[in-house]
Amino acid sequence: MTDLEDILHLLNEFEGISRKYVLPAIIGKLRSASYNGTQEHGLGEDSAAISTTSDDVVLLTTDAIVEELCLNHPRAAGFNAVLATVMDIYAAGGTPTSFAVALSYSDTKIGDQLLEGLIDGSQSFRVPIVRGHTSPHSRLTYVVGSATGTVRKNSLLTSGGAESGDALVLLFDRVGQRGASYKLGWDSVTGQSSEHIVKRLSVMNELASEHLLTASKDISVAGLVGTAGMMLEYSGKGGVIDLDAVDATRPQSIDLNDWIRMYISLGFLVAASNSNLDRIVKIVEAHEMTTAKIGFVDDGRSLRLKLASEEEIMFDYSKGPLLIPKGESTDTS
């Protein structure tokens, strides 16, 4: 096999991507069968956007941490429950306002460490824990977090707004290391002050307020390629990721095969007009983050990976919903 074929095989075997294949059926059923399931900026987005009578919308998101992490690294599990939801709020251009949690455990030591992680996350991301539910005698061990946030209606960023001709740009904090509790994680938060963390995350608030982006997603456990696949499908578009560009800008301590599968703790994938790139770079650098132009959006019905002179299809959307159904209208007027 060629190098690109090896990478495709690796990605196709990657659980962070394969676990997403159930989403179209679930989201499709909820949209069609639940009350008002087809409302804009809801199912399919990282954060649902709920209209208000003011100039703001309320953002709402939720995330669960896998039991393995809760059992083996409970403090990290608690922290990551806050991190994961806060990232969804920032990806929408918003500012987190509250966090709620559901805890389940039987070992009090694990429960105590879950709480310590939640408290660490609350302090690091400056988000208050306002509500919770605890099951301290359960056979199951889990933590599920929900966060709210706000954003101006005219500054809301969505996952499904990428336009043909846009550049795909990775934003991330180069200061970091491989995660101690998750080897396919780029950790830019451990040991950092809340000022350091919030300064970097607030880059999304500034980019949103200046209306420089057409689409945005945080880099999830599906990694860079999986995140791009979801954004493009939700936008009803296709595109190309240039793996040579990814390779040229990755942290040198992480090899390419790992970097394209990594959860990036302070990382976002955005789509933007090429005419906005100079301004985007200036803002991102002021927040001490790194930009990497890694591909482009087109009207094709697939996400292709390019390496040197080779190009192969990673996700073929022409065969029907694959990772996430196409989004609804992204009109925010």
* Tens-digit pLDDT profile for residues 156-167: 999 999 999 999
Q: Determine phi and psi for 37, rounding to 5 degrees.
A: -70, -15
DSSP class of 208 = H
Structural domains of the chain, ranges and CATH numbers in brackets: 3-22+157-319 (3.90.650.10), 39-153 (3.30.1330.10)
DSSP one-letter code for 304: E
At 168 the pLDDT is 98
Q: Which of 222, 191, 192, 284 is nearest to 84 (CA)?
A: 222
Quote the pLDDT of residue 330.
42
Q: In the chain, which residues have pLDDT < 70? A: 1-2, 328-333
Burial readout 29-64 (b: 16 or more C-beta within 10 A, e: otherwise) = eebeeeeeeeebbbbbbbbbbeeeeeebbbbbbbbe
For the segment 52-79, what is each residue's pLDDT rounded down to a tens digit?
Answer: 889 999 999 999 998 999 999 999 999 9
- Give residue 233's identity as a one-letter amino acid code: E
- What local confidence, expressed as pLDDT, does residue 207 receive? 98
- pLDDT at 120 (0 to 100): 98
Kindly report whether the global pTM for this prediction surpasses the value 0.75: yes
The token duo for 29 is 């059923």
Whole-number pLDDT of residue 328: 59
In sequence order, the 6+-apart residues with CB closer than 8 A to the CB of 112 are none
Residue 53 CB contacts under 8 Å (≥ 6 apart), including other chains: none
